[in-house]
Amino acid sequence: MENNKNSEILKTAKENANKWLEGNYDEETKAQVKFLMENDEKELVESFHSVMEFGTGGLRGIMGVGTNRMNKYTVGITTQGIANYLKKQYGEKESIKVAIAYDCRNNSQFFAQVTADILSNNDITVYLFEELRPLPELSFTVRYKKCHCGIVITSSHNPKEYNGIKVFGDDGAQVIYPHDENIIREVKNIQDINEVKFTGNKNNIISIGEEIDNEYLKRIKQLSFSGDLIKKHKDLKIVYTPIHGTGITLVPKILKEYGFENIYNVPEQDVIDGNFPTVRYPNPEETDALDLAIQKAKQVDADLILATDPDADRVAVAIKNNKNEYTILNGNQSASLLVYYILNQWKNRRKLTGKEFIIKTIVTSELLKDIALKNGVECYDVLTGFKWIAKVIRDNENQKKYICGGEESIGFLIGDFIRDKDSVGTCAMVAETAAWAAEQGKTLFDILIDIYLEYGFYKERLLYLVKQGISGKEEIGKIMANYRNNPMASINDSKVIKIKDFQSLKEKDLISGEEYPIDLPKSNVLQFYLEDGSKVSVRPSGTEPKIKYYFEVKDELSDQTRFEEVDNKLNQKIDGIMASFGLK
């Protein structure tokens, strides 16, 4: 049975490859296809067994020749589909405008130019950044220039072999239903590469850069609460690394414009390079990605370390702990610090009216909700992905006031003039929070302990299993099906009291037997709530070949001197939960 299946996959791959050999593709591409057919059957299958699909947020994959790879032609088909959708959506009534940005990845600038050329040849006005820029600036640009769409060429924090396309709607947020499905339909309708208008129209392409930078940074500066306080603590030592990415263009600048004077760069990682030569993965969530920044911090005795990912929408924060050692905060901790500080400032300035709200994703710590509710601020839970945070902002416009929101994967957004996570504004606000702590004679770690003392000690851990290729995707599907069909009655000797299944949109109370509907879009996520207050979330990644496990446990912290004792206890609890899932 398996041999028959593999034979069919190989047959499909060869059929797709032959179409490229016979079609209107350049000779270099054809030579690479022919090489795969004659020398590398495995790579041929991976490259041609299926057509890379435009998903709900865009396109992402390994670069190379083939229908299942990122290249000029898959990018071209996707772009032509977007152009066809925009013309149907907006018709002849107005001039359609699209903004395009790109990051530091190999071929990003090339793919951006291909995208701009195709759109321009479809009579669409294109605002193309003259150099690489942070993703959140593109979100800002869509709104500032009143564009109908935005496109960023990026693969975020994926390995160097990857690239991708993210598509934004006219509100500056990544597209969701029905726009995503309409774009997908238009992309699938393109049956022949000759339908793609590759030749650009220079008259329709407008170069942008410094003007947008200035307006974007101006808005971020308006978020600051404590200019005078920053002046008092302008000498805080801050180490910043862009990890070879786009953050180098604006993060040091906004920190200086906020008033901080001691900004230390990591020279090796200031170099814009899509090969990311100093790290295994360009993901600031990976601890070794911050090794060089921590080395620099030790040299200068820094108070704060900030590291952004290649497209500069996410930021990792590292600080000194109670042992004077640098420790990297997870996204839940950095988000909690920001929510705590920002709501404190709103409250002290008597700006809270009862109509304000924050947003977090369902896999993000419940601590954010606890902080919000105690301050009389509503907290929305949404699916993973900032497009859902943007949707809640949009749905509540002119009725309620969005303050801030975040997700555990180190993404955060302050204010509503951008509609995606924003490391540029977040870096500035983290630095301001550190200045606020210093004014009290404290560090950010001290503030984190204060939060735990007041709200409870929350501890989180993320674990993921990588499952590459066709077989990996099937294995992930089997794992999720098993959790659904054979749920555990207890985990780590604690009874499972509630299960949320975001695919069936049902919440089941295992104590009463009652079921309740979940008012969110469908998503392949399972959550298990335990009697001891722990929460476990499991989901396949939407952008990477991974299945992710999110563990959250909680205990009381009665005194700061008991921090290590409770921390160890919580770590042991997470270890036990992982063992119950066969993960340790």
CA distance 427 to 433: 10
The torsion of the CA quartet 285, 286, 287, 292, rounded to 10 degrees, works out to -100
Query: Which residues neighbour 8 within 8 Å (Cβ) at sequence distance 6 or greater?
Result: none
Give the contacts of 16 (CB within 8 A, at least 6 positions apart).
48, 49, 51, 66, 67
Q: Residue type for 172, please?
A: G
User: DSSP characters for 45-99?
Assistant: HHHHSSPPP--SSEEEEEBSSSTTSBSHHHHHHHHHHHHHHHHHHHTTSS--EEE
Instruction: Show the beta-strand stretches assigned E in 279-363.
Output: 304-308, 315-320, 326-328, 356-361
How crowded is residue 367: how many other Cβ atoms within 10 Å of its Cβ? 24
Q: Which long-range contacts (CB under 8 A, 24 or more apart) does 502-507 make?
A: 502/362, 502/383, 502/526, 502/527
In Å, how far are 106, 287, 320, 430 from 307, measured between CA atoms?
20, 11, 15, 12
In this structure, the number of other CB atoms found within 10 A of the CB of residue 226 comes to 18
Distance CA(423)–CA(410), nearest Å, equals 9
SS3 track for 232-250: HCCCCEEEEECCCCHHHHC
> b or e along 64-83 (b: 16 or more beta carbons within 10 Å of the residue's beta carbon)?
bbbbbbbbbbbbbbbbbbbb
List the beta bridge partners of residue 72.
Answer: none
Which of 47, 120, 156, 580 is flagged as catalytic? Answer: 156
- The pairs formed by 501-505 with CB atoms below 8 angstroms and a separation of 24 or more are 501/525, 501/526, 502/362, 502/383, 502/526, 502/527
∠ Cα 479 176 118 (to 5°): 110
CB atoms within 10 A of CB 229: 16
Write the DSSP assignment of 463-498 as a string of letters: EEEE--HHHHHHHHHHHHHHHHHS--SEETTEEEEE
Active site residue 156: yes
Q: Which helix (H) or strand (E) holds 257?
A: helix 251-258
β-bridge partners, 547: 465, 540
Residues labelled as active-site residues:
156
